[in-house]
Structure formats: structure tokens, C-alpha cells
């Protein structure tokens, strides 16, 4: 290899080298964070508040970071700042320091207006970024540029093309350009692959961060530690001891004005194919050889590739009464607002163990949890089988907790048994500790160049391969959702499917979060 090609390869690898801490990220130049779709709901409610929290905690220093908003709306810097202000802190509960921090943070934000498919606006954006970089660095090209696409996927290709042609970091002196894209990544395998190809022609995989905010949740991030750092889970975590695994997402409200958007996707595309499937990977994967992002993502892909095709008789779809009353929803919509799907993993560890993914809107409670149900105790001398099985429950939201349901002796003179729990409730155990929002953690990971909690292209493809045949059958009307009453558990057929899959519901036991 000639010296010129060696030098090029060395520079190329340095450009995308992951950086381990924020101080190192920022020491050689400025960081520009560009929020595209800055006037939209996602940016106001999630992206800017996450950036503000990172700023408050000292991860984004005012002398090193500048934030740019870009959208079609023609507004001034101050108008954008005023739109964002109310989402950063609640004025009634805000301390004087919080309000001062808000003012300082908002001064970091500039706004550029332009379209998403013409060069004029992006040239102007590049000019604004470059001027800021020169002021901060004195040297053009040392900056880092992070583009956050808080936009519908339909405009990803044109926006990525404009960024590639107009807004890249100018040299390889140590800077980088990274792109964060939000879900949904396509609507099926074909559209996802098309989107991946279009973006992949413009950026390397190491520059693309496909964000799934569930991977930023505290209890989801705890899964690897729980599984691989605790001796007593290692021998239990397999088909010999586990009867079934449920991963559940429930909301107690309907589409609430988002009916038109939701109807395009449905509950499987919106929640199950991405969020719940990502959680399944972490529950089911083998131990990676290290904590390097690629080693972890390799194991997740292996799990997805081991999932068998979904059988129609292991799916229940539902649609709550009143869903089609929304004027933005078609009168004859076949879109499910509820689904229970049984997945089967064909490998040595999980053969025969059903993984039940369940999600729904307008149900009787709001929660997200993982429920690992163990097999019955053989030779049950206490006759306590009717009280229910041992379960390990990881509650992702609200009231983050982990608890183990187990059978104990009822206090008193009689030898009678009752179900209780060993409980780790975060609100009680970690008093005064603020659990970071998922978006804060993931944006910080992007700045650090850590892709562990982001979805790789082959992982995305494997996920769509599992669900695309089922989704096409629903889209074609071959599978119909069953009606259910708002505020219920969903269609009764879903509980029947759980029973058929081997899940035994515990009657009479209710987990109550401990109070302080």
C-alpha cells in the first residue's frame, strides 16, 4: 500500500473514531447541533428539552456548542426561542437558576428558514454554521456537526442529499458529521431497505444514528447488567426454567388528534416492530464478547435472525370502539390499535419459549414492562400452584422498578402460603436521583460516537423481515382487528391467546409501588 493511500485510510478512520467523553469531544473545536424540523412537535417536546438538560448538567458548554434550528416556517430567532421556552421548564416549579439557565440556553439557538429539497436554504445554513465555527476555532474544519432529523421519513432522502452536498464538515482535521434519524424507518422491508440504500449512498454506517428512544430508557439499559453481571440469573435464563416472556406496552388513551398519522402505521409499526422488538433482543441475546457497540449489535442481529415466521393463529388484532369517529381516520379503517403477537426463537436457549409482544391504546392502564414467567415448581408439596408462578418483572414506565414475585409463608401460626415480592423500586431506592430522559442519553451517545444504543442497518432489515409478511396481510384486509371497549384489557381473544401460549395469570396479587 503506497504512503498516500495509507495516509488517506488513517485520516478516514480518525474521522469516525468513537470518542469516549464529552471533554475529549469538545477539546479540539466547536460542536454544532442542527435540529431539522425545529418548529415541529418532536423538536419542541423532545429534542430541545433533551439538549437543555444536557446543557444544565454541563455536557454542552456555552463556549463550545451552538444550536441551529432549520425548518420551512418563516420565523425569527426570538420567535423560535419563545416557542421552545415553555417546554424547557415549567414556570411554576422553576427556580431562579432554572430560569437563568433557560435564558442562557436559548441564546445558543439560531434559526435558519429554508425548504428541505433545494440548496438555497442549506447553503445559508452552512454559511451560518461556518461563521460560528470560525469564531470558535479560528480554523475551518475542526468542528463537529450533528444533524438531528426531527422530520417525517418521506423527506429523509432529500434532506440527507442536501446535507451531503452543502453542509458537511469541511476537512478531515478531526471533525465529523453525524446524522440522527427518527423512526419509523420505512413501512415494510422494501421501503426500509430503499430508505437505507438512499441514506447509505450519502453517508457511511458509522455516521448514521437510527434512534429508538426505548433503547435510552434506564431500565432497558439495565438489562445487560442484570443478565450478565448477576450469577443467579445465569443458570435460570433459558428454556429449562422459563415458561414464557411477555413484553407489554399499554396506554390508557386513544390517538388524541393523531388519528390520521397513526392510521398510516398502526400499533405494530408504531410500537411492536421497533420498541418491543428491541427490548426482546436484549432479553434474549447471548453474552457479547465485550461491551463494544458492534459486539452487542452482532448478538442482537443473531436473535432477530433466529425468529421463526409469525403464524396467523398466534396473532390477535384489536381496534377500540370510537377509533373511526376521528374525522382524520377513514370510515372503513382496518388499522389495529391493539395487537398481541407470539414470537418463537429457534435456537438452543429459547426453543419452545413463547415471547409475547403486546401493545395497545385506550386500555385500562398505562405501563410498559417485561414479565418473565418461570415454570411451575416440580413436586409442589405446599399446594401453592393455584396462587401463581414465580415471575421477574421489569417495569420500564411509569414508577420504574424491578420485582420478583415469589411464594412465602403467610405470617401467623398456620402453614399457609401467599405471593409477595422482592422489590427494587427506583423512586424509593434512589431518592433524589433524577433518571435521565431517553433522548438526553441518546443525544449524548451520538456526540460521543457510541452506537451501542442505535439500530444498525442489518438489524433493521432483520426486524422488518419478521413483521413484513404479517403487515402485508393486515394491509390487504386478510386479517381484521376485533372491536374492544376503551378502558378494557383489549379483546378477550388476546387473553385466550396468552393462555394458549402457556401464560398463567396470577389472581389476587397486585404489585403496589412502595411509598416513601
pLDDT of residue 386: 72
Torsion sign over Cα 218, 245, 186, 483: negative
Torsion sign over Cα 121, 123, 124, 129: positive
Of the candidates 337, 343, 346, the residue with the CA atom closest to the CA atom of residue 355? 343
Calculate the CA 93 to chain-centre distance.
Answer: 28
pLDDT of residue 7: 36
pLDDT of residue 169: 83
CATH architecture under which domain 215-435+456-501 falls: 2-Layer Sandwich (3.30)
Q: What pTM was computed for the model? A: 0.87
pLDDT of residue 2: 42
Evaluate whether 448 touches 22 at the Cβ level (below 8 Å): yes
Distance in angstroms (rounded) separating the CA atoms of residues 437 and 513:
21
Strand order in the sheet with 176-182: 109-113, 65-71, 31-36, 144-149, 176-182, 208-211
Which residues are paired to 179 by β-bridges?
147, 208
Of the candidates 169, 155, 158, 159, the residue with the CA atom closest to the CA atom of residue 126? 169
Segments in the chain below pLDDT 70: 1-29, 90-94, 136-142, 171-173, 516
pLDDT of residue 266: 92
Contacts of 58 (CB under 8 A, 6+ apart): none
Whole-angstrom CA distances from 139 to 10, 122, 126, 142, 468 are 21, 21, 15, 7, 49
Evaluate whether 71 touches 37 at the Cβ level (below 8 Å): yes
Of the candidates 244, 230, 509, the residue with the CA atom closest to the CA atom of residue 358? 244
What one-character DSSP code corresponds to residue 323?
G
pLDDT of residue 281: 94
pLDDT of residue 28: 54
**244, containing H or E segment:** strand 242-250
pLDDT of residue 356: 97
Name the catalytic one among 275, 295, 332, 472: 275
pLDDT of residue 18: 40
Is 275 assigned a catalytic role? yes
Kindly report, residue by residue over 319-356, the tens digit of the pLDDT.
999 999 989 999 899 999 999 999 999 999 999 999 99
Q: Where are the domains of the chain?
A: 31-182, 215-435+456-501
**Maximum distance among all Cα pairs of the chain, rounded to whole angstroms:** 85
Q: What are the backbone angles phi and psi of residue 341, rounded to the nearest 5°?
A: -130, 130
pLDDT of residue 336: 95
Distance in angstroms (rounded) separating the CA atoms of residues 84 and 78:
10
pLDDT of residue 414: 80
Q: What are the backbone angles phi and psi of residue 264, rounded to the nearest 5°?
A: -70, -25
Domains 31-182 and 215-435+456-501 share a fold: no
Calculate the CA 116 to chain-centre distance.
Answer: 25
Mean per-residue pLDDT of the chain:
86
Distance in angstroms (rounded) separating the CA atoms of residues 14 and 158:
28
Evaluate whether 180 touches 446 at the Cβ level (below 8 Å): yes
* CATH class belonging to 31-182: alpha beta
Distance in angstroms (rounded) separating the CA atoms of residues 237 and 348:
12
Q: Which three cell numbers stand for residue 353?
A: 419459549
Q: What are the backbone angles phi and psi of residue 419, rounded to the nearest 5°?
A: -90, 135
Q: How many helices (H) and strands (E) does the chain have?
A: 18, 15
Amino acid at each position: 500500500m503506497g504512503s498516500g493511500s495509507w495516509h488517506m485510510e488513517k485520516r478516514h478512520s480518525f474521522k469516525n473514531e468513537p470518542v469516549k467523553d464529552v471533554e475529549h469531544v469538545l477539546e479540539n473545536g466547536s460542536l454544532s447541533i442542527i435540529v431539522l424540523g425545529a418548529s415541529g412537535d418532536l423538536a419542541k417536546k423532545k429534542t430541545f428539552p433533551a439538549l437543555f438538560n444536557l446543557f444544565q448538567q454541563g455536557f454542552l458548554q456555552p463556549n463550545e456548542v451552538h444550536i441551529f434550528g432549520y425548518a420551512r416556517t418563516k420565523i425569527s430567532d426570538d420567535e423560535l426561542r419563545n416557542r421552545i421556552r415553555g417546554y424547557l421548564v415549567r414556570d411554576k416549579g422553576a427556580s431562579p437558576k432554572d430560569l437563568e439557565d433557560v435564558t442562557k440556553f436559548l441564546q445558543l439557538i439560531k434559526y435558519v428558514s429554508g425548504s428541505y429539497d433545494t440548496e438555497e436554504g442549506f447553503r445559508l445554513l452552512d454559511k451560518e454554521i461556518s461563521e460560528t465555527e470560525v469564531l470558535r476555532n479560528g480554523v475551518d474544519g475542526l468542528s463537529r456537526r450533528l444533524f438531528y432529523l426531527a422530520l417525517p421519513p418521506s423527506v429523509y432522502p432529500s434532506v440527507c442529499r442536501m446535507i451531503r452536498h452543502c453542509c458537511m464538515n469541511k476537512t478531515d482535521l478531526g471533525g465529523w458529521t453525524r446524522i440522527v434519524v427518527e423512526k419509523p424507518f420505512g413501512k415494510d422491508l422494501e421501503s426500509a431497505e430503499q430508505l437505507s440504500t438512499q441514506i447509505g449512498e450519502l453517508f457511511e454506517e458509522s455516521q448514521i444514528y437510527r434512534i429508538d428512544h426505548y433503547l435510552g430508557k434506564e431500565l432497558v439499559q439495565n438489562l445487560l447488567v442484570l443478565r450478565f453481571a448477576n450469577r443467579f440469573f445465569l443458570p435460570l435464563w433459558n428454556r429449562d426454567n422459563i415458561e414464557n416472556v411477555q413484553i407489554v406496552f399499554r396506554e390508557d388513551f386513544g390517538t388524541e388528534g393523531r388519528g390520521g398519522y397513526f392510521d398510516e402505521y398502526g400499533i405494530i409499526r408504531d410500537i411492536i416492530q421497533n420498541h418491543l422488538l428491541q427490548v426482546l433482543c436484549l432479553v434474549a441475546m447471548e453474552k457479547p464478547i465485550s461491551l463494544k457497540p458492534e459486539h452487542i449489535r452482532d448478538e442482537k442481529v443473531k436473535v432477530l435472525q433466529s425468529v421463526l415466521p409469525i403464524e396467523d393463529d398466534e396473532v390477535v388484532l384489536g381496534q377500540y370502539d370510537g377509533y373511526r369517529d376521528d374525522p382524520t381516520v377513514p370510515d372503513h379503517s382496518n388499522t389495529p390499535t391493539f395487537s398481541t403477537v407470539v414470537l418463537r426463537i429457534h435456537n438452543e436457549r429459547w426453543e419452545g419459549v413463547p415471547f409475547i409482544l403486546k401493545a395497545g391504546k385506550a386500555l385500562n392502564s398505562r405501563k410498559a414492562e417485561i414479565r418473565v414467567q418461570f415454570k411451575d415448581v416440580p413436586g409442589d408439596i405446599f399446594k401453592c400452584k393455584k396462587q401463581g408462578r414465580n415471575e421477574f418483572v421489569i417495569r420500564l414506565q411509569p414508577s420504574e422498578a424491578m420485582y420478583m414475585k415469589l411464594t412465602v409463608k403467610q405470617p401467623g401460626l398456620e402453614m399457609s402460603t401467599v405471593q409477595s415480592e422482592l422489590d427494587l423500586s427506583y423512586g424509593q431506592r434512589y431518592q433524589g436521583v433524577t433518571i435521565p430522559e431517553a433522548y438526553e442519553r441518546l443525544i449524548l451517545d451520538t456526540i460521543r460516537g457510541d452506537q451501542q444504543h442505535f439500530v444498525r442497518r442489518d438489524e433493521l432489515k432483520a426486524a422488518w423481515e419478521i413483521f413484513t409478511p404479517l403487515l402485508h396481510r393486515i394491509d390487504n384486509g386478510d386479517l381484521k382487528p376485533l372491536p374492544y371497549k376503551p378502558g378494557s384489557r383489549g379483546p378477550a381473544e388476546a387473553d385466550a391467546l396468552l393462555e394458549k401460549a402457556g401464560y398463567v395469570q396470577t389472581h389476587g396479587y397486585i404489585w403496589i409501588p412502595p411509598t416513601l
